[in-house]
Each structure stands twice: as structure tokens, then as C-alpha cells.
Chains A and B, each alone.
Chain A
Amino acid sequence: MRLGIVKGTVVLSRGLASLEGTRYLIVEPVTAENLKAGNGRGGGREVVAADHLGPGRGQLVCFEEGREGCSPWLPAGVPVDAYVCGIIDSSTYHPMD
């Protein structure tokens, strides 16, 4: 997983039927520098991630990418490769550089 800041939501007009019923969030990955500073900034390249948890804008979440992104739908198949796994409620971080 990576850590990311929720930046917004995406609303689909037409798409594959399997994508319906899910929220899609714009998530900006957080760099070590910004995580340490706790400044609410991301700094990475935005991704769109499927979401079932409903975090608000600015919240810190963790998201998984790749094949496991669609695991929550198993055994059904959906073309999702990024999924919001959790809303981070506590963390400690001590970068080693």
C-alpha cells in the first residue's frame, strides 16, 4: 500500500456496468517529507482509487494498487487496480535520512 491524501471525487457518466455502485476518489500519494511534516500535502502523482469507506477531502488514507485492488469484489471481476483500504487514524513516522 501507499499513503495518500484525498483530493476529491470522480463521478462517472458512462462506463462498464461493473464499475457502478462504487465511489472513486482522487488520491495524492504522500512523500516522506510531507508525511513527516504532517502538513496535509501529498506531493506524489495523483491516482484514482475505488472507495467503500467514505473519507473526506484532506484525510490520510492507505490504498493498494495492482491485482489486489479488485480483491474486495471477489469472486466477481471488476477492472479496479487501486483501492482505498483504510483511513489512517494514528501513525508514528521517523524518517531515517
Chain B
Amino acid sequence: MYLARIEGTATATMSHASLKGRKLLIARRSEPGGRLAREPILVLDAVGAGLGDLVLISTDGELCRRLTGFKTAPVRLTAVAIVDHWTPRTAGESA
């Protein structure tokens, strides 16, 4: 899993049956130093995430198959939670 910022939405009418008419979220992975990745990703939404939200992305393809109801869904990314806040780990801190 990783953190990403929601930056937009997209739809694809001409698509695999599992994605037809589904609103997809455009997001960018959070990188060290508070930067966002160079390339955006497109994810399913399981929590009603909105523009500007920091979300937790899961790469569990099985979740995508369940959410879409298609065993053949060719997708693997889902926003599974909205992050309230997070703190950086300080060096030397134990788990």
C-alpha cells in the first residue's frame, strides 16, 4: 500500500466491461520530501474520496474484482481509505 493525493477524475465509456460508466480517480503517489510522483495513476474508489484527499492505495487485484463484480477485471489499484494525518518516523526509532 502507499499514499497518494487525489487530483481529478476520469471516465472511459469505451472500456473493459468492468469499468464501463465507472468514475475513476486520478491520483499521484506521495514521494519523499512531500513531493508527488511525475506520473499520475488511475484508481478505483472504495471510500468516496474527493479532490485533494490524501488516500491509502491498495494494489490488491482481488479487491478490484470484488468491487467491479468481474473476475476478469484488468485493474489492481483502489483507494481504500482517506488519511486523517500522518507523522514521519524519526531516524533510529524502533517499530
Give me the interface of A with B, judged by CB distance under 8 Å. Answer: 1-3, 29-33, 35, 43-44, 52-53, 55, 61-62, 64, 66-74, 83, 85-97
Contacts and interface: CB of A to CB of B under 8 A. Distances in A.
A57 to B, nearest CB: 16
A91 B15 CA distance: 15
A61 B36 CA distance: 22
A68 B43 CA distance: 14
B72 to A, nearest CB: 5
A72 B72 contact: yes
Nearest to B22: A86
A42 B90 CA distance: 37
7 contacts: A1-B41, A3-B42, A44-B38, A62-B10, A71-B74, A94-B7, A97-B35
Nearest to A70: B74
Given A85-B16, A86-B15, A30 B10 contact: no
Given A89-B13, A93-B7, A2 B41 contact: yes
A68 B65 CA distance: 10
